[in-house]
Amino acid sequence: MNPAALSLPLAEAAVLAALASAAAGLVAARWPRALSWLAFPLLGLAGACALAAGIDALWCGAAQTATLPLGLPWLPWQIAVDPLSGVFLLILGAVLLPVAVYGPGYAREFRNGRDSLAHLGVFTGLFVAGMLGVLLAADAFLFMVAWELMSLASYFLVCFQHEHADNRRAAFLYLLLAHVAGLLILLSFGVLAAAGGGFSFAAMRAAHPDALWAAIAFALALAGFGAKAGLAPLHVWLPEAHPAAPSHISALLSAVMLKVALYGFLRVVFDLIGAPQWGFGVTLVIVGAASAVLGVLLALQQSDLKRLLAYSSIENMGIIFLALGLAQIFQAAGHPTLAALALLAALYQALNHALLKGLLFLGAGAVLHGAHVRSLDRLGGLLRRMPRTGWMFLIGCLGMAAVPPLNGFVSEWLTFQAALQAWQLHDSLLRILVPLAAAALALTAALAATVFVRAFGVGFLGRARSRSARHAHEVSGGMLAGQALLVVGIAVAALLPGSVLGLLARAAVQLTGHAPAASGWLWLTPLDPASASYAPLPILAVLLVVGALGVTLLRPHRGAPVRRADPWDCGFAPPTPQMQYSAAGFAQPQRRVFAPAYALHEEAGVDRYELTASDRTWGRLYRPLGALTDRAADLARRAQAGHVRRYLAWSLITLLVLLWIVS
């Protein structure tokens, strides 16, 4: 333990600030301004403390532990901060601080409505405290307490505007899958605790379960944490819950809570279970690739802006788990440096996704606040009416489309660099699987570019498609400042990837025992400078020079008259906003190619056309499962109803079965 490290006290201060924010939220029931003057500033303090704790933990590279006088008499709560938790404290703080700046302006519209500001303030603080508790927990008991606090508090935030039936349905679905996930995670900890003889992570880490029990713990952890992270086919709650929650809460759900689930998976599988197995890696690669492709295909057909971003989160979590699968495969095959590279790519993708998706959800909230609609088919022309929001939203779209020199390109490029090393594997099956996964990643990247070109082009360019879009207005300075803080974080991650990766590499060393090749602040060389290198600053300089030349050459000469006139319309009627490409029309080619992936529903009228592309997972998995559950419940109801003789018979049968089991 480094005595100079301050990460643990800073993390504890973040938890206390989040709890104080929840307490301040109670005051908002009588004094609405308390949300802006107390609750959100305390959340900002929690974010700043978490950010500082994460940087300190990664900078020092040492673990700090402590025991709290809480919990059970024989099982006190243990907390710890190490480089792995430091990465996710950094992510949480980097998003929470801008959300706290953005929140007062966004929540102002709720002051005169029926929605409770106290509800919003209390459960936001508890939600953040729960996520911090998960990151600090060093035993399974505290982990599960914090996990359930995070899940329950976020449930109340998803159903914040509960007067809408769709929001209540989304919240119920989220709560159902959250509790199923919690049960699976608890069972996974039970397997590891049985092997280690204790509930502390140190005891689990010291034990070495055999291959069968390790596989059972892995499967339970993948299902539990994967459901919370939005992996297919357990992703169905995510596109329902994200649009239902307030936009700054959606940013926390997508940018932070999904990463907390990723942290839990890394803690269990890469830290507690022990030696990696190539079978774990193959499973992660297949699940990750399937989630990435399915998520981007469904995002491509959405007209609801927040639902589009939610499906895009499924895609990005799939990419992260694909990279984790590569790390497991390389580690099991005896290539720890390549495993560290793949793990570093996953961690960097997690950080980049948090910054970019946080910015995009805050931008979507600004659009909803300024135009009062979020359907792409009712937007258009917003860049003229909301220029600051529009340009920052464009930065987020370019980053999610993996356009260099933005940060989204770097993490996907690192994942490709790891996948291209499949030739070093000796197993022929793996040498086929990994290139196929790389091909799926390439397809995902291309479709993701289409998704965000469509989102920005239809929403912000062209002409306004509705009265709401024509009367849109720019949002308040606080809401713009929250988005701008995330733009600053994106710029740092994009232009100084070597420095950021140098910090994140501490976690890779902790989990794999090795670090990838060193990189400087200017050049990024993940393996060998002769094979691959990347420098964002020279690329940015070239782009700026080319852009300046283009503007200079295309700009009219000073003093030259500029003639403005309507374009020639070939003698037809003047164009109207309805003649522009719609969101559905933009994605029509991809819809034809990938038609089997969608359940399409079209409604056409004289002057109206609506297209809904829903997930086939509902019809193929969840509806049959729901019907089976209803039938089982009906049978149980019939078994309970009847005469006393039937109850006695069931009791006798149960007793005989128990005696047979015991004997």
pLDDT band at 76 (very low <50, low <70, confident <90, very high): confident
Give the 3-state secondary structure of 148-209.
Answer: HHHHHHHHHHHCCCCCCHHHHHHHHHHHHHHHHHHHHHHHHHHHHHHHHCCCEHHHHHHCCC
The rounded Cα 8 to chain-centroid distance in angstroms is 25
Bond from prior residue into 9 cis (ω within 30 degrees of 0)? no
Is residue 358 within 8 A of residue 255, CB to CB? The reply is yes
Q: Is the dihedral of CA 153, 186, 202, 270 positive or negative?
A: negative
Interior angle at CA 544, CA 543 and CA 548, nearest 5: 115
Per-residue pLDDT at 392 exceeds 50: yes
Q: Which tokens go with 604?
A: 């056409």
Q: Which of 155-159, 285-289, 427-431 comes out lowest in average pLDDT?
A: 427-431
CA nearest 249: which of 318, 155, 176, 352? Answer: 155
Q: What percent of the chain has pLDDT over 90?
A: 46
Q: Yes or no: say if 418 and 410 are a contact pair by the CB < 8 Å rule.
A: no
> Which of 233-242, 482-491, 625-634 has the least mean pLDDT?
625-634
> What is the share, in percent, of the chain residues with pLDDT greater than 70?
94
Q: Look at residue 3 in the predicted model and tell me its pLDDT.
A: 47
3-class DSSP state of 67: strand
- In the prediction, which pLDDT does 583 show? 73
Per DSSP, the three-state class of 231 is coil
Say which residue, 551 or 67, is predicted with more confidence: 67
Average pLDDT of the residues of the chain: 87
Distance CA 384, CA 397 (A): 18
Q: What is the model's pLDDT at position 124?
A: 94
- Per DSSP, helices labelled H in 461-535 are 467-470, 477-495, 497-512
**Average pLDDT of the segment spanning 66-72:** 83
Residue 573 clears pLDDT 80, i.e. is over it: no
Region 193-213: mean pLDDT is 87
* Confidence check: pLDDT of 486 > 90: yes
Closest CA to 307 of 612, 663, 660: 612
Please report the pLDDT score of residue 653 as a whole number.
85
- pLDDT surpassing 50 at residue 142: yes
66 beta partners: 79
Average pLDDT over residues 63-70: 86
Residue 663 pLDDT > 70: no
**355 vs 452: CA distance, rounded Å:** 16
State yes or no: pLDDT of 575 exceeds 90.
no
Would you state the pLDDT for residue 607? 63
**Domain assignments of the chain as residue spans, ordered by start:** 620-662
Q: Does residue 333 or residue 568 have the better pLDDT? A: 333
User: Which among 187, 207, 29, 52 is positioned nearest to 121, based on CA atoms?
Assistant: 29
Side chain identity, residue 57: A
3-state secondary structure 120-149: HHHHHHHHHHHHHHHHHECEHHHHHHHHHH
Q: Does the pLDDT of residue 158 top 70, yes or no?
A: yes
Which of 144-148, 554-558, 614-618 is the most confident on average? 144-148
Q: What does the pLDDT look like over 159-188, one tens digit per residue?
A: 888 888 888 888 899 999 999 999 999 999
The pLDDT score that the predictor gives to residue 1 is 45
In tens, the pLDDT along 315-361 reads: 999 999 999 999 999 998 888 889 999 999 999 999 999 999 999 99
User: What is the pLDDT, as a whole number, of residue 546?
Assistant: 87
- pLDDT value at 263 more than 90: yes
Q: Whole-model pTM above 0.75?
A: yes
Q: Do residues 399 and 356 lie in contact, with contact meaning Cβ atoms separated by under 8 Å?
A: yes
Residue 518 — pLDDT band, cuts 50, 70, 90? low
pLDDT at 557 over 70: no
